[in-house]
Amino acid sequence: MTMEIDTMPSEYNDVVLRPMHCRLNANTRSDGSAMLTQGDTAVTATVSGPIEVKLHNLQIDKAHVEVYYRSKSGLPSIVDKLREKIVRDTCESALLTVLYPRSSIFLQIHEMENAGGLIACTVNASCLALLNSGLSMKSLLGGVHCVITSDNELVLDPDQLVSEHAVASLTFVFESVHRNIVAVHTTGRFTIGQYNDAVIKCRHASDIIFKFYRDVVRKFATHATTTKVET
């Protein structure tokens, strides 16, 4: 069963994000999958697991988490490896891997379009795919991207044009329980004050992300129940 959900996040705590669209079960051959668009940025994530683990990755007390990132075009690059590491580290921190010892959880990411905020969209698509797979998690993950312009303006979730002309780019990943920061990726130059302002604004924005997740799961569950009754 495939479920498509549109959400148009508007003003919320003086914070605005680009429109988001989610399609769950985008890949019916995996244990869980999601295609997410944030603005014109689009990412597909698929989850397989727990599955048999390779001997050199075997861990007796928890599952091994493996991530493969596939860019839109070309061979894997150093930047792609960085994105793999960010997704793997954040997802591993959220998953209850101790419940799946001697197994592997494989997450494959496919970049479909990069129009700004790619890392944040990748993390969010991965979280939705994990939710769809039914794997146990300690918390959800919400990625938010912002930039600082040459006029020292903080722009939340900008498009590619604004991102390309920014003097600094910051991506934060928050967990859903206490809204603590799980991961940070920054480029460019910025002050401590600008960093702190970015954290506050992005933390507020993560509320929109987590509300979107709740809407997705609620509508998906309602649709699944209705389908079973009709069957």
- Using one digit for the tens of pLDDT, what is the confidence trace for 7-58? 555 455 578 899 999 999 888 889 999 999 999 999 999 999 899 999 999 9
Task: Please give the Cα distance from 109 to 111 (Å, whole number).
Answer: 6
- What pLDDT was estimated at residue 29? 87
Q: Has residue 145 got a pLDDT over 50?
A: yes
What's the domain range around 212? 3-230
Pairing status of strand 20-24 against strand 3-7: antiparallel
Average pLDDT, the chain: 90
Q: Has residue 89 got a pLDDT over 50?
A: yes
- List, for residues 180-217, the tens digit of each pLDDT value: 999 999 999 999 999 999 999 999 999 999 999 999 98
Other Cβ atoms closer than 10 A to 221: 11
Over residues 85-104, the mean pLDDT reads 95
- What pLDDT was estimated at residue 223? 66
Asked whether the whole model's pTM tops 0.85, one would answer yes
- What pLDDT was estimated at residue 6? 59
Phi-psi label, residue 175: left if phi above 0, alpha if psi -120 to 50, beta otherwise: beta
Domain at 23, CATH number: 3.30.230.70
Upstream peptide bond of 50 is cis (omega within 30 degrees of 0): yes
Q: If you ran DSSP here, which 8-state letter would residue 121 be given?
A: H
Provide the number of structural domains found in the chain: 1
Q: If you ran DSSP here, which 8-state letter would residue 40 be given?
A: T
Task: Please give the Cα distance from 42 to 59 (Å, whole number).
Answer: 33
Over residues 162-190, the mean pLDDT reads 96
- What pLDDT was estimated at residue 10? 45
- Choose among 6, 53, 39: nearest CA to 212: 6
- 177 CB contacts (<8 Å, ≥6 apart)? 138, 139
